[in-house]
Structures are given as structure tokens and as C-alpha cells.
Amino acid sequence: MTARPEPSHLPEATYPTLPAFADARHVMRLTTRVAIAQGFFLLCLLLPAAWSHRLSGHLPALDTFLRDGTIGALCGALGVSLTATLVCLLLAWGRDRTFRDKSLDTRLQRAPATVLAGWPQAICLLAGTIAALVMLRAWPPTGALAAAASPPWPVAVALMLVPAFLLIVLEQTVSATPAGRLPEVARLAALLRLPPLVIFAHIAITAAVGFGLPVFPWAADVVALFLALVAAELAVRTLAVWFLPPPVPEAAQAAIGSSLAALLQPGALRPGEMARRMRAQFGIDITRSWAVAYARTAAIPVALALAAFTWGLTGVTRIDLNQRGSYERFGAPVAMLRPGLHIILPWPFGRVRLVEYGVVHALPVGATLGGTAAPRDTSTADGPAPAGANQLWDQQGGNDTSYIIASQSGDRQSFETVSVHITVLYRVGLDDESARRALYGALDSSALVRSLAGRELSYFFATRTLLDVLDERNEEIATTLRAALQADLDRERSGLDVVALVVESMHPPSGAATAYRGVQTEQILASMRYSEEMGQAQSMVSVAEAQAHGLRDQAQAAADELISSALVERSQSEADTLAYRDWGRAFLIERYFDNLRHALGRGSLEIVDSRLGAPNAPLLDLRPSPANAPPASALTPYSPQGDAQ
């Protein structure tokens, strides 16, 4: 189905008289040069940025621009302005073809300018705005504004001024083109101002950070948000091209109008200009509105009432749970306010100075003020330990501080150095008097604590030797230093309380770590040998004591047995004496037979009777067999007299 051709408001003979069609080729050359320059700038940014994004750390200067969002915002601005330039080039080419096609009859067929003003420019605009949004998302500002003010920040500012100057030259070249030749000159110039605006905004942020001025962390985000809104507005306006009827050739223009970008034009925010724009775009004449006239009449009373109300609100203050407030009435402190909402005299008659309440600060003693920040811990539970966990003596820690300390080797005295990592945990006292002292007595609490702690450490190491310090427990050292530091803070009436003092590490310097480790090893080995020898000596002493105790017990037992035997024999002798005294010889005979009975029970028996003399007399021989017979020398003839004795 063929679309119905739109009637033309001008005859074909009129097109040569229109500058937009007659000078279209000149406009094409101009827009081509502008597009090539913008494309070159964009390519010079995209390639290094993509390479640095893939291999972070190889170009520190470029990494700085990536972190603060300069490259992302500039690429987005260049993408939007390049898209608008390409669309203008597309429409200029269509006008040139319409002008040079002599056989074209706009009453029967559409002109190239009409066709290109439809879906081709819509696709180009939509693709360009989406690409700009993607670049803004790929390199957003990370809030690290301090990185923008790296040491050579004046050099960075000077480097950014060069492309800003060239882009301004391009914008002025386009703005000098008459509106008759390029109907979109005002809208295109507004979009061409976006890249210089981004550069100057980041130059201002970089210079402010470099000079030490306070800069809001969301300043770079505002620039990126403004560019994203401009790109989104162009994308939304592009969608309307698909639903509008095709324009006539002389009315075909690029749909690159942006209300936000138009605010960058000089004088765009004047009331008269804003009224003219509202009347032209929306048909609203605010100069004849009764609401505007009423607002103009009531503006002064309402402004005064709002000012008075706002001034009264300065007397309403809110104190957080971790803060207290010193209420100053006419410059004199009168009360200490607790957390909550309070109503006081408005400024400048009443004022509240906030003080911390229970907030504990960790201060590494000896750390350099303004030094390099510790790297962010990116370790995982399954991965390797972070570098900050390495507390070995063979390397110096980031917060280690070296002190001179006395040492002694034999009779010789010298000096050594010791590396210490100590952290002080302090807070403002919980009572009101401590809060007032901390607020009005000390300008910088951390500097005061660091100074007093450093002085106490110097005194501590000046009165001890290296071996005394290394042999002493860290808990005892921390307790001693904490008490001394608290006494110094109380003497200075600082109002600060030392919650704890943690001795993280205390060791010789990294250069002497190996030698001292060898000394400690030999000391440990000597202690082990001494303990082993002492153990062996104790074992020998124990064995000797046991043997001596056994011999003494044996001798005592033998002596007791001899004494007991002597006592028994004495008792028996006394009994025998008494019996002999009473019974005389009868007792001796009885004792003789008793002894004989015992003797016969333990030995061999041989009875020889002298009355058995006949050869044939019976003989009872109880002698043992010849194999078991005792020797002849052991046989003793019977002697009654001997037995009796």
C-alpha cells in the first residue's frame, strides 16, 4: 500500500531560493568536519578508557579520570552531540538531494528530505542516545573526588583545557552558521555545549579539591545525571517521530530539540526569555495570568513570613543518640543537652555545639598524619590472608613506629631500635564536665592523644633496655602505658578517657630480626639444656635419696631384730636362772632332754648301746644309706658328760 503524498506548500521552483536547500552542500561539509572532530575526540577517549578498564593500574592518570567519572561523562556528552551532528548531516544530505533532483514532483512522491526526517533520523537518534547512556553507566563516578586532585592536578587541568578549547571552537563555528542555511543551528549549538560544560565542571571539581576547598561527593553525579536526562529527553522525543505525519520538505528538520540543553544558552534563564518560550512551546502567556500577578503582589509578605518562620526553626535542634549538645545562650554555655529534640533560642542568640557520647575512637600511635590509607581488604574466607595480617618481624608494618632504646651486651652499652605497633582506644568522658573539657579545652583530640602517647612511649623506652622490653608481657606494658597516658590526659584537663591500649606488636627492626631470632633460638636451646640437666640431677638425687632411705630402713630393721633377739635371749636366760635356782639338777636334765629332742628332730639319728655286745645280739641300725651317709668327721661319739654340759 502506497502512502498518500503530502501536498507541498511551495512549488518546486521555490526550492532553489531557500538557503537551507541551496547551501545544503556547504552545510554538509561543515557538519562533516564537526562530526569527524567529535568522533576523533570520542575515539581517543574510548580506546584508552576501555584498555585501562580491562587492565586497571597500568595508567594511573587515566584511572583517576575513570574513578571520578570524567571520562564517562565526557564520552556521554560527546555521544549526544555527535548523534545530533550526524542527524543534522543526514537532513542536510536530504535537502541537497531534494534540491538537485530536478525531476522530483512532491505532489506525486516524497522528497528525500521528508523521508530522512522520518524513521532514519529516529533510528540514528535512538541508537546514539542509548550509546550515550551505556557509556555513562559503564564509567560512572565512584565518589573518589580526592583521586581527582592527585599531586599533578594543575597538569590535569591544563590537559583538560585543550579539548575544551577545541570543542568551544567547534560550537562557535556551528553557531556562526545562519539559521537560514541550518534551521537546527540553535538546537545543535545547545547540544554542542555539553562536552565543554562537562570538562569545565570537572575542572572546577579538580581545582577545588586541589586547593583544599570542600566539595560535595555528589558533584560529579549531578553532571552525569544532567547528561542522562538530556539523553533520555532526546530518546523520548525520538519516539514521537514514528507517530507524526511526514513533514513537507521545507518543514523537515532534525528532532534534536532539548529543553534541558536549551538552558545552557546565554540568557535562557531570564524571566522574559522563559515567558517567551512558554508562550511559543505551550501557548501560555504568564504575563497575563492573574495567578502570576497575585504571586507578585504577595511575594514580599510571604517571603518575610517564610524568612521569620525559617529563622524560628533555627531554635529547634535534634541531637542523635551518640551525641550530646552544649547549649550556649548569648555565647555562654548554660546546659548540656541529652539526645532528643530540643527548642532553644534561635540563632544567633542560642547555639548548640555537639559532643560525642560514647563513641570509641581507635588511634594508631606513631602513624603519620595524612599518610597513605591502608588498602581495602578484599580477602575471602577461602582465599589467601590479607597483607595486613602479616605480623612477622622481617617486614615493617604500615603503622609501626621505631624508637631508640638502650641495650647491653656484657659490659658494653649501646643503643638499638625497636618497632612498635600500638593502638589507643579513647572516647570523650561520659559526664558533663568531661564533655565540656573536650569541647572547649582541646582543638584536636586525636592529635593530643597521639602526642601524649608518643611522649609516654619515648619515656618508657628510654628507661628500659631492649631485652627488658622484649621479655616483658605485652599486657603489662599496655597496663603501664594506659595508666600513664590517662594521668597525662587528666593533667591536661582534656576530658578524654582511655578505654584500652592495645600493643599489637613489639619487635626489633626488620633488619635485626634475623639476628635477634638467632639469639632467641640460642636462648631457648640453652634454657632447654639447662632444664634437661636440672631434670637429670633431680632424678639422680631422687634415686640416691631412695637408696639411702632403703639402706637406712634395712639397717634399722637389722638393729631392731638384734635387739629383739638379745631381749628374747636375756628373758630366756633369766627364766633359766630362776628355774635352775628352784629345781637344780632336775632342770638341767629336762633342758638336756629338750635340747636333745630338738636336735634329733633336725638331724640324722644313730643309736649305739654299749650293752649290746654279743655277736648275735639284735641291732637296730638307723644310719643313712652309704650314698647319703655323712662324712666320718661329722659323726661324734655319744658323750653324756658333753651333752649334760
Q: Map residue 117 onto helix, strand or coil.
A: coil
pLDDT at 27: 86
pLDDT in tens, 487-531: 999 898 888 999 988 887 776 665 555 666 677 788 888 889 999
The dihedral region occupied by 495, where left means phi > 0, alpha psi between -120 and 50, and beta the remainder, is: left
Confidence of residue 255 (pLDDT cuts 50, 70, 90): confident
Element (H, E) at 595: helix 585-602
pLDDT at 142: 63
Is a pLDDT exceeding 70 seen at residue 623?
no
Is a pLDDT exceeding 80 seen at residue 609?
no
**Which range among 140-149, 271-280, 297-306, 600-609 shows the weakest confidence by mean pLDDT?**
140-149
Distance CA 352, CA 335 (A): 10
**Which range among 31-45, 170-184, 256-270, 333-347 shows the weakest confidence by mean pLDDT?**
256-270
Distance CA 568, CA 563 (A): 9
The CA-based diameter of the chain, rounded to the nearest angstrom, is 200
**Which range among 170-184, 388-402, 405-419 shows the weakest confidence by mean pLDDT?**
388-402
Is a pLDDT exceeding 80 seen at residue 289?
no
pLDDT in tens, 376-398: 556 666 667 665 555 555 445 55
pLDDT in tens, 297-313: 887 888 899 999 999 88
What is the average per-residue pLDDT within 532-552? 91
Confidence of residue 249 (pLDDT cuts 50, 70, 90): confident
pLDDT at 426: 92
Please provide the average confidence, as pLDDT, over all residues in the chain: 76
Q: Which residues 6+ apart lie within 8 Å of 191 measured at CB?
A: 80, 81, 84, 230, 256, 258, 261
Which residue reads 597500568 in cell numbers? 58
Q: Are 227 and 76 in contact, with CB atoms under 8 Å apart? A: yes
pLDDT at 224: 84
- DSSP character for 375? P
